[in-house]
Amino acid sequence: MNELTLFAQPWWVNPFILVPFVAYSLWREKGLTISIRALAVAACFGIAFGFVEAAVVVYLRAAVGLLPGCGETLADVAGLSSDPNLNAQLLRELPESLRAVEMFREVATMIMLLSVALLAADSLRERCAVFLWAFAVWDIFYYAGLWAMVRWPSSLLTPDVLFLIPVPWVAQVWFPLLVSALTIVAVALAKRSGEPR
pLDDT given at position 88: 56
pLDDT at 164: 86
**Predicted pLDDT at 197:** 44
Which pLDDT score, from 0 to 100, does residue 131 have?
98
List the Cα angle 138/151/74 in 5-degree steps: 110
Residues 181, 21: contact at Cβ < 8 Å?
A: no
For residue 23, count other CB atoms closer than 10 A to its CB.
20
Give the residue, 194 or 20, on which the prediction is more confident: 20
Distance CA 28, CA 32 (A): 8
Percent of the chain exceeding pLDDT 70 equals 82
- pLDDT, residue 73, reads 47
Reply yes or no on whether the pLDDT at 1 is more than 50.
yes
106 CB burial (10 A radius; 0-12, 13-18, 19+): middle
Q: What CA–CA distance (Å, rounded) separates 14 from 6? A: 9
Kind and range of the H or E element at 171?
strand 169-172
| pLDDT value of position 24 | 96
Compute the distance between CA of residue 15 and CA of residue 11 in angstroms, rounded to an integer: 8
Inter-residue contact 147 to 156 (CB < 8 Å): no
Q: What is the DSSP letter of 9?
A: B
Q: Which residue has the higher pLDDT, 71 or 166?
A: 166
Tens-digit pLDDT profile for residues 57-83? 888 777 766 665 555 544 444 454 455
More confident residue, 60 or 85: 60
Question: What are the sequence ranges of the domains in the chain?
Answer: 40-175
pLDDT at 5: 92
Taking residues 38-54, report their average pLDDT: 96
How confident is the prediction for the chain on average, in pLDDT?
Answer: 86
pLDDT value of residue 62: 76
Give me the mean pLDDT over the 29-56 stretch: 95
C-beta of residue 129 within 8 angstroms of C-beta of residue 187: yes
Q: For residues 17 and 76, which has the higher predicted lDDT (pLDDT)?
A: 17
Give the pLDDT confidence of 87-119 residue by residue, as tens digits. 555 556 667 777 788 889 899 999 999 999 999
Give the relative orientation of helices 124-150 and 36-63 as an angle to the nearest 10 degrees.
40
The Cβ of residue 26 has, within 10 Å, a number of other Cβ atoms equal to 14
pTM of this structure: 0.85
- What pLDDT does 151 receive? 86
